[in-house]
Amino acid sequence: MLVTAVFALILIGISGAMLDMHRRTWLGVQQDATQPTNERRYARSQYRRRMQASGIIGAIGAAIGCGPLVPRQPIAMALYLLAIVGACLVLILLAAFDAWSTRQHVARLRGELLANQAKLAHQPQLISGARNETSQHDFVTTRSSSTHDC
């Protein structure tokens, strides 16, 4: 019974810490005016999913803590266990969806990065051509001024 209570309190504490961490992260995103709209939309969806998952962890902890209060009758215990298992399944689904969503987001960011790198790959040729003309001009200017110094 003591182990059950300690485990329930640990889950509730973890839930509270995660809720606070997600809230602070979301406040930081809201205050960042430089965030593009699609990044802000992704962060809002992520915030909602993670707050729900963190709340469910706390609810599971509270349900486990209330376990000794459940009557030891088959129907009551079945409903109690069904509620806990159902909450665990919802938690797993939220985690899986969050992982999938994060993977999609990273893939989109990677695609944007590769597109920007491809753009930049063509620019050095233009810049180096202009730089070569400038350096040749500087070389001629430096050379002609050094021959006058003799």
In the predicted structure, residue 149 carries a pLDDT above the cut 90? no
Q: What is the pLDDT of residue 118?
A: 86
128 in a structural domain: no
List, in order, residues 6 or more apart from 48 with CB less than 8 Å away: none
List, in order, residues 6 or more apart from 110 with CB less than 8 Å away: none
In the predicted structure, residue 15 carries a pLDDT above the cut 90? yes
Share of the chain above pLDDT 90, in %: 69
Cα 129 to Cα 124: distance, rounded to the nearest angstrom: 8
Cα 24 to Cα 8: distance, rounded to the nearest angstrom: 24
Domain ranges, residue 15: 2-112
In the predicted structure, residue 142 carries a pLDDT above the cut 90? no
**pLDDT band for position 125 (50/70/90)?**
low
CB atoms within 10 A of CB 59: 18
130 in a structural domain: no
Q: pLDDT of 56-111, one tens digit each? A: 999 999 999 999 999 999 999 999 999 999 999 999 999 999 999 999 999 999 99
32 in a structural domain: yes
Count of helix runs (H) and strand runs (E) in the chain: 3, 0
136 in a structural domain: no
127 in a structural domain: no
69 in a structural domain: yes
40 in a structural domain: yes
132 in a structural domain: no
Q: What is the pLDDT of residue 35?
A: 87
Number of domains in the chain: 1
